[in-house]
Amino acid sequence: MAQVSTAIETELSRISSHSHLSVCLESCSASQTILDTPDGSCVSVSVYSGERTKRGVATAIAMIGKAFPGWSEEQGDVLRDRFAENGFSDNRMIDSVKHVIDTYEGYGRIPNIANFISFDRKVKLYTYRQMDDCVRSGEASENDFSIAIIDRVSGCRSAEQEKSGPFWIMKVEARRMKIRTIECKPSTGWPD
C-alpha cells in the first residue's frame, strides 16, 4: 500500500510540474449523459457523475503503473487527456482501471487506451409509453418502476421523449446502481 501511495504522490507532482497535464483537472465535473439510439427506442444513462480531480487522475495512473510495469509516462499523458475529453469522474476512472486490471487477458502485453476509455456502467431508462408497454405485455408490473432523478443530464432526447415527461427506471436497477428515484403511481405518471 505504501508503494501505491508513493506512486500517487509521484504522479501528483508530475501533473503539477507540467502545466499542459493539468488542463481540466483542477475540479472538473463529469455529468451523466443520456445515450439514445437513432430510433429513440432505447435510452440509457451512465451511472457515473461527479468530479475529476488531480488526486483521482494520479491514483488511476499510479494503479496502472503498478499493474502494468511497461506502461509509459507518454501513455499516461494520453490517457489523462482522454479521461478529460470523455468526461470521466474520479469514480469512473478508478472503476475503469480496476475493470481492466481484473479482466485484461493480454499476458505480457500492456493494455491500450481504449481498454480504459470504453468502460462505463449504464442503466436503461424508459419513457412513460415504454414503461406502460412493459406493464401491458406482462414483462413487469407498475410497482416495478419509479421515476429516475438524473442530475446534470446532458445529451439529447428525441422530440417524443421531451413531450413524454420524466424517465422511468426499474426499481431493482435503481437500487443496484444507486440512482435516486421518486415513488409514484405509474398509472398517473406523476409523483404521489
Residues 24 and 113 in one domain: yes
- Note down the domain range covering 8: 2-31+49-117
Higher pLDDT pick, 36 / 101: 101
Residues 75 and 147 in one domain: no
pLDDT band at 50 (very low <50, low <70, confident <90, very high): confident
126-171 per-position pLDDT tens digit = 888 888 999 999 999 989 998 887 654 444 444 444 444 678 889 9
Instruction: Give yes or no for residue 62 having a pLDDT over 90.
Output: yes
User: Among 96-100, 122-126, 161-165, 168-172, which stretch is predicted with the lowest mean pLDDT?
Assistant: 161-165
Q: How many Cβ atoms from other residues are within 10 Å of residue 85's Cβ?
A: 10
Residues 65 and 151 in one domain: no
Residues 180 and 108 in one domain: no
Number of folded domains in the chain? 2
Residues 26 and 96 in one domain: yes
User: Pick from 117, 149, 175: which residue ends a domain?
Assistant: 117
User: Residue for cell digits 507532482?
Assistant: 13
Higher pLDDT pick, 91 / 159: 91
Instruction: Give yes or no for residue 80 having a pLDDT over 90.
Output: yes
Residues 101 and 137 in one domain: no
For residue 76, what pLDDT is reported? Answer: 93
d(CA 16, CA 36): 38
8 Å CB contact between 25 and 32: no
Any domain includes 87? yes
Alpha-carbon 13 to chain mean position: 27
Any domain includes 36? no
d(CA 63, CA 117): 15
Kindly report the average pLDDT of the chain as a whole number: 77
Residues 19 and 65 in one domain: yes
Any domain includes 42? no
